[in-house]
Amino acid sequence: MNKSDIDMFNKLSGQLKSAYEEISVLSKKNPNDAVNKFKLKLLNKLIEDSNKLLTGKYKPFNDFNIFDEDDMPQNSDIVFILSQYMKSFNKYKADNTDEFGSWL
């Protein structure tokens, strides 16, 4: 991995964790509420960028690229998808670092 990939990984994984935490709070209160268009736009950008990094076996779902803006997803749907992306980021890091956590 090059420095650019590592920087992108760190940025996206931090944003992903933050988004997951925020939407999880909303999901616990109102799991069936739809997210607003502003948040959905930002989430879709985060997922698009993540898909560029998480290719092949690391992409959580081969047939999922972004949320459909015409069919606003519910908070619980977003939490589900983001949790899968977080697991993929963890696997990606585990496969690309040594036992001391240094990038290969």
Could you tell me the residue ranges of all domains in the chain? Answer: 3-95
Which pTM value belongs to this model?
0.94
| pLDDT per residue as tens digits for the range 73-93 | 999 999 999 999 999 999 999
Rounded CA gap, 81 and 85, in Å? Answer: 6
pLDDT of residue 1 exceeding 90, the answer is no
| pLDDT per residue as tens digits for the range 4-54 | 999 999 999 999 999 999 999 999 999 999 999 999 999 999 999 999 999
Secondary structure letter of residue 104 according to DSSP: -
Predicted local confidence at residue 23, as pLDDT: 97
Which tokens is 86 given? 């977080």
Rounded CA gap, 57 and 67, in Å? Answer: 20
β-bridge partners, 34: 74
